[in-house]
Homo-oligomer: A and B are copies of this chain.
């Protein structure tokens, strides 16, 4: 079988605790499906590293990480130690940009044993494709009349044709492979009158190249309402950096899986390594107690295998998660799932099931 070079970055807080579980399941998948994971662990992208070195990552981090096939990332940050603009912008957000991981991909699906907060969720199973490098997240702008009554603060949303087209293309390509072949675009063109109509126009243009994909467009406000009212309607949803960010927390919240959802930061061309992480943060409040839920980390590993092309192994890992959670064994599930298990117990059970 093939060998994949994986950079492992546990990061801060519970990132350190869930990482071993993620690796255990990945190793189980590798031995069963006959491929090799060549793993190198790094201590940077953590508050400890920052305290020692004054930066979140070494100066040559790009060269260090570049040769890897993928980055497997825990969680970073601890607002009590350092503000987000140091920890996040000094690591995760820099990697997203530097490695041109312009796709943020997140699954929204019901998982057996994990109750949705909705009375009647239907069959929820869709993808959110978020633009991950430009748009509303920018450092461009500034202040005038600072410190006075007349203070004006300006921030620029920047979209490029290249940036918009490539994320739309990824979303259309994905929608073409699904059963329902439906793509929903999230904008707000009736309020935000320059960038959003631009996105719409590129979307409509590209739709012509994908006659087999059904398309629809919603304003982000009513789309958020639809996520609650009829989440089973969606198949693939694409949005800008901010809209995608909101929807990719809202979607998992609606399935009840926000604590266990994964996130892929993908450079589809493979020119740079892609990064896979759980959606949850470093959760300093429960750190060190051994009760963090490892499913997000394991599920992120599952997405990584999918990205590496190990389809069967990825399917087995997803089935393993479903099987173990579906058993609803209170001795195995972690406290966030109302069980009395530990990180390790739940992680072992899933690795076992792989």
Chain A interface residues toward B at CB < 8 A: 84-85, 88-89, 93, 115-120, 136-139, 141-143, 148-162, 188-196, 198, 220-222, 224-226, 228-229, 241-242, 245-246, 248-250, 252-254, 258
Contact = CB atoms under 8 A, between A and B. Distances in A.
B154 A117 contact: no
A117 B152 CA distance: 41
A192 B242 contact: yes
A92 B234 CA distance: 31
Given A117-B120, A190-B85, A155 B245 contact: no
* Residue from A117, A229, A241 with most neighbouring chain B CB atoms (10 Å): A117
Q: How many copies does the complex hold?
A: 2
A188 to B, nearest CB: 7
A321 B177 CA distance: 48
Contacts of A192: 136-138, 155, 242
B246 A220 contact: yes
Contact of A242 (B151, B159, B188, B248): B188
A192 B188 CA distance: 17
B159 A152 contact: yes
A69 to B, nearest CB: 28
B224 A253 contact: yes
8 contacts: A93-B191, A118-B118, A119-B119, A137-B193, A138-B193, A153-B198, A155-B156, A225-B250
Contacts of A155: 156-157, 192-196
Contacts of A158: 152-154
Contacts of A191: 93, 136-137, 241-242, 245
Closest 5 CB pairs of A and B: A225-B253, A151-B161, A221-B249, A155-B194, A155-B195
Given A148-B161, A153-B160, 18 more contacts: A84-B189, A85-B190, A89-B193, A115-B119, A117-B119, A117-B228, A118-B118, A137-B191, A143-B194, A151-B161, A152-B158, A153-B158, A154-B158, A154-B195, A155-B194, A188-B242, A221-B245, A242-B242
Contacts of A118: 117-119
Given A85-B190, A224-B224, A246-B220, A229 B117 contact: yes
Nearest to A197: B85
A108 to B, nearest CB: 12
A285 to B, nearest CB: 15
